[in-house]
Structure 1
Amino acid sequence: MMQTLPIRLDLFAFLIFLGVAQGVFLGIFFLTGQRRKSLANRCFGLYLLSVSAIMLEIGLEYSNYMFQMLALVDYGELFNFALAPLFYFFVYAKLNSRLPRHWGWHLLPAAIWSVNAITWIVQPPEFKYNSYINAFHPELPFVHVEPYMHDDFTGLRDYINELTLLSCLIYTVLALLEVRKAFKRANLPLLGKAPVSMVMARNVSALVILFPVLIGVVKATYHEDMGDHFLAAYLTLTIYATSLLVMQRSSALQEKEIIVDESPSASVEPKKKYEKSALSEELEETLLLKLNRLMEAEKPYLESDLSLPKLAQRLNTTPHHLSQILNDRLAQSFFDLLASYRVREAQQLLQDPTTTHLKIEEIAERVGYNSPSAFHTAFKRLTNLTPAQYRAKVVEQKA
């Protein structure tokens, strides 16, 4: 006879079910409306729904609701090998606006495992009862049952925890390497200011990085699946942290910021930040990547007569769109962008032994400034040092 236990609703159960609800909501959010046009959003939406499905099974098992829903026992294993690749796809697509080459091969283990899962999902209730109590309540007696079929044709189910850990570890590392590569390609500090797409990929990867470690600790500490509620609770925290990241980057939830054009010809009247964009998110991300590559490869900022229209023409876009993206995505004006690149170039010249003979005015001219005073002002604002003080500091450090 199959025994049951009373429902357990404690803090962990509450956190898990709360995470499931938020994960489903956020997954649907990314898969609907204009957001679904973004490849990265579709990957992330599917990832969140997969996470929620696994968390729901853990919540039902931990709370003992599973005694009343034996048909759902072990259904979460269908998603074990889809979870990590989907996350990697999200990060890759967010940074590159496409999936990795031969992406379908990454999902092959998930497809094989889904077929294998049929052998333990399509089983009598008594079989599922035994599976459940073996994982969560080993103190209860098993019941006799004749399975409909052999429950594991691959012979790998006994190693599911180790294989899941390996999958999560591999794809988390691949995601982190992709983030590092993107920041290096854009010549940006990993922990500094960057385009929104890069910040989102970096921050979400940072949230997920501890998950494989936690899997290893929990599985080494607890019998079978008895510690899975810790994993589900951590996933809840990552889902809500992701929700905060989404809210922070949503222009609909931000106050309209006032941006002042610093150009000499600008009006004294401030202008409001652009309220709507004619560009899709993917086009914006593509334009930002093109901008980073152009600035690094051709260094147009060294031209003293570079203007917003000229830079927009090189990027095959309009000055309006370029200015809007700089303001909304990088929180910079066109002149802030020029100053950051020019000052960085000046720092390299001030450090280079082959250019120590150059006067400060000559360096200012080399990096695109016609006015030495404008160069001094920009350099001091960005480094808190004058060019002469910066050069003296470099000499002192080398001495």
Structure 2
Amino acid sequence: MSNVFSGQPTCQYISHMNLQFDLLAIINTLGAFQCFLISLALFSLKTGNRTANRYLAFFLLTLSLFIFDEILYNSGLYQYYPYTYGIGTTFDFLLPPFLYLYIKALTVQDYTLKKKEAIHFVLAAIILLLSLPGIFQSSAIKSAAYLNDLQENLNLGTFEIVFSLVFQIYIGSYFVTALVKLNSALNNEALDKDIPVKFKYLRGLIIAMLFVLAVHIFFFYTPWFDETADVYLLFLLTVIVYIMAFTGMRQSEIFTADLLKINPQKYKKSTLTDEVVEKTLSNLQRLMEVEKLYLNSDLKLPDLASQLKVTTHQLSQIINEKFEKNFFNFINEYRIEAVKSILNDPASENRTMPDIAFEVGFNSLSVFNSAFKKVTGLSPSEFRKQS
């Protein structure tokens, strides 16, 4: 393909390129539009893991823009409408991080993007900055640059080939990491038995992307790779989009299911005694209600288990079975109750929501807002108005 996977255009036209908008181009265009519509639907979705859905929406939006860019390139339309020519490579560097972060948001409880994780977008930012001078050129200059780009890439040098290989490895590493992370989460015995089935489509999506990458790598380094192979590889991506859209329409719950939903039956072979359970529950209640450990924003499962003198696995089991929730939801519910008490106090009417959220142990406003609405059915501001 001209950008993604190889970073190099694959066309044999030099001084002029005739328009080639055939049936495949129409199918690919409709697929890109479908991808765009799915992304809009996910952005507006109010249920399920909203953080994960946003990353999936960004991934699909970027994928739709990438497909449009490839269609403009391969059909020759860029020769006559070069307005966005030069920006397409940025999409290549955005696709892998968005897919990876989608998987991470699905598999990490209350996930929020950390500052250090902005490194995932550094390459895309660099490519965009390098592209800006060309993007703001006149249409005539960009059209000439497009034709010149075709000519220069008929004979790839060693640098271009090595760069393409490095870029292909970059993309593949993201996809493989995402697949490993997803498989690890789906193999967790703590999940409800129907969860892995609901998320089978996602494993298929990543494997399909890896397949397209592998096919592209194979043809890119053989004499058979030309503009025809490029178009058919783009068609494969479009087919993936159609399948995903069809699956989403048939099983809308795949976008609203909670990958981290716990199955209490997983502990039926546990060796925990009733005596240990009761003692731990009593001490846990004391730590939460008397010592208010939930106010510590850095509180982690191992920290709490250490104070209770049980293993993290045992504490996780007790919380899962006795409260039918995971550790984070358990802690956050105490924090939400503390917030409700503060909001019901007339003396706190002038306090800001961030101030209250941080006081009770939240270290992220997005997590606070999501947790509050999950527990109360209202946003913090709506609850305050009703108090």
Name the residue aligned to 1:242.
244
Question: Cα distance 1:35–1:70, how it changes in 2: closer, same or farther (>3 A)?
Answer: farther
The yes-or-no answer on 1:176 pairing with 2:179 is yes
Q: How does 1:355-366 map to 2 (within 5 A)?
A: none
Q: Distance between the aligned counterparts of 1:313 and 1:82, measured in 2?
A: 42
Question: Cα distance 1:215–1:164, how it changes in 2: closer, same or farther (>3 A)?
Answer: farther
Q: Distance between the aligned counterparts of 1:133 and 1:227, measured in 2?
A: 20
Q: How does 1:297-336 map to 2 (within 5 A)?
A: 297=267, 299=269, 313-316=322-325
C-alpha contact 2:186 2:196 (8 A) present in aligned 1: no
Q: Distance between the aligned counterparts of 1:75 and 1:226, measured in 2?
A: 23
Q: For 1:314, give the aligned amino acid.
A: F
Q: Distance between the aligned counterparts of 1:139 and 1:45, measured in 2?
A: 33
How far does the alpha carbon of each residue in 1:158-202 deviate from its partner, in whole angstroms, 9 at most, with x for none? 8663343122201111011112211332278xxx96445643432
| Runs of 5+ unmatched residues, structure 1 | 141-155, 253-279, 304-309, 318-399
Name the residue aligned to 1:212.
213
Of the structure 1 ranges 166-175 and 94-103, higher mean CA displacement relative to structure 2 is found in 94-103
The yes-or-no answer on 1:162 pairing with 2:165 is yes
How far does the alpha carbon of each residue in 1:127-176 deviate from its partner, in whole angstroms, 9 at most, with x for none? 42344224557799xxxxxxxxxxxxxxx988663343122201111011
C-alpha contact 1:89 1:99 (8 A) present in aligned 2: no
Question: Cα distance 1:105–1:240, how it changes in 2: closer, same or farther (>3 A)?
Answer: same
How far does the alpha carbon of each residue in 1:302-335 deviate from its partner, in whole angstroms, 9 at most, with x for none? 99xxxxxx98753159xxxxxxxxxxxxxxxxxx
C-alpha contact 1:135 1:224 (8 A) present in aligned 2: no
C-alpha contact 1:165 1:212 (8 A) present in aligned 2: yes
C-alpha contact 1:31 1:42 (8 A) present in aligned 2: yes
Offset, 1:250: 1.8
Question: Cα distance 1:281–1:36, how it changes in 2: closer, same or farther (>3 A)?
Answer: closer
C-alpha contact 1:73 1:132 (8 A) present in aligned 2: yes
C-alpha contact 1:84 1:172 (8 A) present in aligned 2: yes
* TM-score, length of structure 2 as denominator length: 0.57
Name the residue aligned to 1:349.
none
| Runs of 5+ unmatched residues, structure 2 | 1-13, 274-318, 327-387
The yes-or-no answer on 1:120 pairing with 2:134 is yes
Q: How does 1:49-88 map to 2 (within 5 A)?
A: 49-88=61-100
Which structure is richer in relative contact order (CA contacts within 8 A, separation 6 or more)? 2
Question: Cα distance 1:3–1:183, how it changes in 2: closer, same or farther (>3 A)?
Answer: closer
C-alpha contact 2:172 2:213 (8 A) present in aligned 1: yes
Question: Cα distance 1:205–1:199, how it changes in 2: closer, same or farther (>3 A)?
Answer: same
C-alpha contact 2:219 2:225 (8 A) present in aligned 1: no
* TM-score, length of structure 1 as denominator length: 0.55
Q: Which has the larger radius of gyration?
A: 1
Question: Cα distance 1:218–1:14, how it changes in 2: closer, same or farther (>3 A)?
Answer: farther
RMSD: 4.0
C-alpha contact 1:35 1:41 (8 A) present in aligned 2: no
Question: Cα distance 1:18–1:175, how it changes in 2: closer, same or farther (>3 A)?
Answer: same
Q: Distance between the aligned counterparts of 1:223 and 1:122, measured in 2?
A: 32
The yes-or-no answer on 1:105 pairing with 2:106 is no
Q: Distance between the aligned counterparts of 2:94 and 2:153, measured in 1?
A: 32
Q: Distance between the aligned counterparts of 2:95 and 2:231, measured in 1?
A: 18
Q: Distance between the aligned counterparts of 2:74 and 2:95, measured in 1?
A: 21
How far does the alpha carbon of each residue in 1:74-121 deviate from its partner, in whole angstroms, 9 at most, with x for none? 321121111111011112222334257642222221122221221332
Q: Distance between the aligned counterparts of 2:163 and 2:42, measured in 1?
A: 30
C-alpha contact 1:16 1:229 (8 A) present in aligned 2: no
* Identity, % of aligned positions: 20
Name the residue aligned to 1:25.
37
